[in-house]
Amino acid sequence: EVVDGGGRVLLPGFVDLHTHLREPGREDTETIESGSAAAALGGYTAVFAMANTSPVADSAVVTDHVYRRGQEVGLVDVHPVGAVTVGLQGEKLAEMGMMAAGPGRVRVFSDDGVCVSDPLLMRRALEYSASLGVVIAQHAEEPRLTKGAVAHEGPEAARLGLTGWPRAAEEAIVARDALLARDAGARVHICHASTAGTVELLKWAKGQGVAITAEVTPHHLLLDDSRLATYDAVNRVNPPLREASDVAALRKALRDGVIDCVATDHAPHADQDKCCEFAAARPGMLGLETALAIVAQVSVETGDLTWRDVARVMSEKPAEIARLDDQGRPIGVGEPANLTLVDPDLGWTVRADELASRSRNTPFADLSFRAKPVLTVLRGRITARDGVTARPGTEVRA
Ligand code: DOR
Ligand code: ZN
Ligand code: ZN
């Protein structure tokens, strides 16, 4: 079948380094199947499924299962992320080597949700990861500085009487891990960078030759803490929405390449975990189905990035950070490709109840955007087209 792409933008399939699929354990909020559908609709051909599931993905038993289930569904390549420690924030390093060697071929390790906060343990984890050639993705949060914190520490939180999460809680870990990675000769990746200070530290560390990379989420590129005024728990997320000056610094860092890529931190939660008081709600928001529209709005439509740059931050860089081309051969000329066709001028409005995700916790509900992925192709096979996914587990030929 020949698809007429008239007037649209053809990009390499998007790669999300940071997705929470909730399977195993919270299948009421997302499954590998529903999350894969959301990913395909969002233009993704690969996602990295975070390890904070139940049970935690801290052994090859879990990571291999997640990988196999993703292959069965067949809408997107699901790459399991392995936990760094046994149990999140555990005291013992997980068998990263076993997870890397299994069929799931784990290439990214993270305790996301919590920080690997003990410096000695992080140092040993980085040494181990360097010997395996894998990367550790760090949720940068010094927990002793964020106890009880539910929002960015600033005038907005003070006004609302919410306990604040200081920027220093993130920046202290970014600085520490840059130094530890340097000493270990390891690669470290900073999850969801959220402050202007983190951008400065990344610049400094990269300038020193440290193998450090970073991602920014669509929500931290679009929203700031003025959102808190509504008290709506949908805006509770870790790290929290920061100030407008941070948002500006993050956008500039993405443009300048100081921040390497966009990752969604797609974090589905049940209605009952989001309907309560702000401080009692679980942190996190949906991301997969709205990421491209937001990136286009804050970067392409402002003139900050070209579509060529979008290919870099949504696909090429994340694939490089995870060393995806090491998981089999890179796709060569004449072989079936991973592609996303974007309509830059479609014009659409996000409707929470029309999302493929099992959860509804999007802060972008009823907002309108211009750009949208309209066709996603995984190894030559159409996985999503005009808002409809291929049936999971079926063969659909492009
Ligand atoms: O907001 C967040 N939600 N931040 C995290 O680090 C974890 C995630 C989740 O798993 O819900
Ligand atoms: Zn995190
Ligand atoms: Zn996360």
**141 alpha carbon – ligand 2 mean position (Å):** 8
Spatial CA neighbour of 128 closest among 94, 177, 104: 94
Cα(55)–Cα(22) distance, rounded to whole angstroms? 10
Cα–Cα distance measured from residue 41 to residue 76, given in angstroms and rounded to the nearest whole number? 10
Ligand 1 neighbour 237 (Cβ under 6 A): yes
CA 341 distance to own-chain centroid: 21
Token duo for residue 370: 């211009």
Whether 238 lines ligand 1, by a CB cut-off of 6 Å, is yes
Residue nearest to ligand 1 atom 2, measured at CA? 284
The reply to whether 265 belongs to the active site is yes
Question: Ligand 1, from 21, 23, 265: best to mutate by most atoms within 8 Å of Cβ?
Answer: 265
Which of helix, strand or coil describes residue 48?
strand
CA pair distance 200, 252, nearest whole angstrom:
11
Best mutation site among 16, 18, 20 for ligand 1 pocket (most ligand atoms within 8 Å of CB):
20
Helix ranges (H only) for 94-211 are 96-101, 119-132, 155-160, 167-184, 196-207
Q: Ligand 1 centroid vs 191 CA: distance in angstroms?
A: 11
Angstrom distance (rounded) from CA 10 to CA 46: 17
Give Cβ neighbours of residue 117 (< 8 Å, ≥ 6 apart).
Answer: 89, 141, 142, 143, 173
Question: Among 16, 111, 225, 265, which one carries the catalytic annotation?
Answer: 265
**Could you tell me the distance, in angstroms and rounded to a whole number, from the CA of residue 284 to the centre of ligand 3?**
8
d(CA 308, CA 286): 26
Q: What protein residues have CB closer than 5 angstroms to ion ligand 3?
A: 112, 265
Q: In this predicted complex, what is the ipTM? A: 0.97
CA distances from residue 296 to 6, 84, 289, 313, 370 in whole angstroms, order as listed: 19, 34, 13, 11, 8
- E-only strand ranges, 129-267: 135-138, 151-152, 164-165, 187-190, 212-216, 261-262
Quote the CA–CA distance of 186 and 40 in Å, as a whole number. 32
The pLDDT, as a whole number, for residue 2 is 62
Which residue, by CA, sits nearest to atom 7 of ligand 1? Answer: 113
pLDDT (tens place) for every residue of the chain, 398 residues total: 666 677 899 999 999 999 999 999 999 999 999 999 999 999 999 999 999 999 999 999 999 999 999 999 999 999 999 999 999 999 999 999 999 999 999 999 999 999 999 999 999 999 999 999 999 999 999 999 999 999 999 999 999 999 999 999 999 999 999 999 999 999 999 999 999 999 999 999 999 999 999 999 999 999 999 999 889 999 999 999 999 999 999 999 999 999 999 999 999 999 999 988 999 999 999 999 999 999 999 999 999 999 999 999 999 999 999 999 755 455 667 778 999 999 999 999 999 999 999 999 999 999 999 999 999 999 999 999 999 999 877 655 54
Q: Which atom from ligand 1 is nearest to the alpha carbon of 191?
A: 6
112 lines ligand 1 (CB under 6 A): yes
Indicate whether residue 141 lines ligand 1 (CB < 6 A): no
C-beta of 65 in contact with ligand 1 (< 6 A): no
The letter for the amino acid at 165 is W
Residues 385, 374 contacting (CB under 8 angstroms): yes
157 CA distance to ligand 2 middle (Å): 20
Q: Which of 107, 112, 126 is nearest to 182 (CA)?
A: 126
Torsion-angle region of 178 (φ positive above 0: left; ψ -120 to 50: alpha; else: beta): alpha
Angle between helices 119-132 and 167-184 (to 10 degrees): 50
